[in-house]
Amino acid sequence: METEHAGAEEWRARAVGGTEHSWCRAVPGGTGTTLLALRLSAAGGAADAEALQAAVRSLQKAHPILRAHLRASPSGGAATLAFPASSSPLQLSLAPQPASEPALDFHSLLERELNRNPWASASGPDAAAAPVLFAALYELPPPAGGVALLVRIHTVACDRAASAALARELIALLAGAGDPGEEEEAAAVDAGLEERIPQRDSWKPFWARGVDMVGYSINGLRTSTLPFVETGTARSTQMLRLGFGREETARLLDACKENGVRLCSAMAAATLLAARRSKKLDSGQQETYSIATLINCREFLEPALDDHNVGFFYSAITNTHKIHGEEVLWELAKRCHGAYSNAKNSKKHLTDIGDLNFLMCRAIENPQLTTASALRTALISVFEEPVTYDTSDQQSKAGVEDFVCGATVHGIGPSIGMFDSIRDGQLDCACMYPSPLHSRKQMQEIFDRVKQILHEGCNVNDEKYEDCT
């Protein structure tokens, strides 16, 4: 059952910022629905839907942005975020799955809820205000049973770091740890990302801005993509999980440290190699691929924020790389790391926010500017830092058997959105992709190659290895 928001007295409203506006444009098309999905055991969740409802209400109480409503502008301009003085009653009840169709497991329910988009019909000038948060609770089929709690949040109100913080808070609440905090944090109520960046860090000469805009446009036109299975059809986001054992994770992190790269660069490099090799091109034939590295900007703002400040405070750095297929993993990872690090050191993650938002909105308006009108802006998006969870004890107390945090990518975005996390020493990646633009079989083969390339790269450092078959 959906959450209900009714009759709350609003106490404040503000226009969305530049980055928030770009998400308001993207979400109706399918990209930008953030999902927190928890699978709970029958003993821990099914008998106590009220506890789950109270936990979600506590999150809304602690984070006013989660009880905001989005209002479209009558003139078609920037939308408005309106904040009620207090949370409206959130009604969350256990909803049995329809008897007329086979019961869906956790993964299938996750994908279904991920693609339910209440904001798609709330984007016109005559549309009513829509809440940024919806939640649903479902019974899971036997033999495992239990329930699935699925919380959908408009990305204007919740970035990747915020979703991870909310997941930790939600698990802690269900484990009986009490409310997240006595005082509400309201950073996102006061101002968006751009207004919080120091002017000295965001300023760029007009001519430099023009040169960069031309550069981004040209690079976008010359980059290659994965083969598209079906174009011109309705799309949705699907997910595959890529998991590593504790020993595998330790070896991979050690290899990253030894080679002086971040995990995101190793993951991106392995994906570039896997994508190139999946095409069965002639030996040495070169293609250019694009990577979007997403960076948490909270530490660069004035005042600096922490991840407990829920909202959208990320920026992106895009880089292109020429790949001929014979590169060594760590050689390519160093190249990926150097490219985005140099851009970050030049503060392009702060100076280029407006440029990338502008190009994103133009692509949404003119999909023909992208290959096959597929709205693919990069081969892969990665996050600069993985999310680290050390919540196994609380998960056990709360009856949480599994959880996933991710977001949709099937409107405008990459072919692969990689949401990596390290959970009690084990790497877990939720890999999102647009379907049927790409097929599950196609993506599974890519991720199998990625895992093999990383595994062999850690075991045989700086040596070439046989292609995956």
Give the confidence band of 10 by pLDDT, cuts at 50, 70, 90: low
CATH of domain 197-459: 3.30.559.30
Where in the chain are the domains? 10-158, 197-459
- pTM value is 0.91
10-158 CATH choice from 3.30.559.10, 2.40.30.130, 3.40.1390.20, 3.40.50.880: 3.30.559.10
pLDDT digits over 58-99, tens only? Answer: 999 899 899 899 988 766 677 889 888 766 667 776 777 777
pLDDT digits over 389-415, tens only? Answer: 998 899 999 999 999 999 999 999 999
Token pair 């991840």 in the structure block, residue = 307
Backbone angles phi, psi at 164, to 5 degrees: -65, -40
Please tell me if the domain spanning 10-158 has the same topology as the one spanning 197-459. yes
Among the residue ranges 109-123, 231-245, 291-305, the one predicted with the least confidence is 109-123
Q: How many CB atoms lie within 10 A of CB 389?
A: 20
Q: Are 175 and 391 in contact (CB under 8 A)?
A: no
Q: Which pLDDT score, from 0 to 100, does residue 142 have?
A: 84
Q: Which pLDDT score, from 0 to 100, does residue 419 have?
A: 98
pLDDT digits over 176-198, tens only? Answer: 876 655 556 778 888 999 999 99
Q: Which pLDDT score, from 0 to 100, does residue 219 have?
A: 72
| Average pLDDT estimate for 278-293 | 89
Going by DSSP bridges, is the β-strand pair 314-323/400-409 parallel, antiparallel, or unpaired?
A: unpaired
Query: Who's near 380: CB < 8 A, 6+ residues apart?
Result: 268, 271, 272, 289, 291, 292, 414, 415, 416, 417, 418
Q: Which pLDDT score, from 0 to 100, does residue 467 have?
A: 42
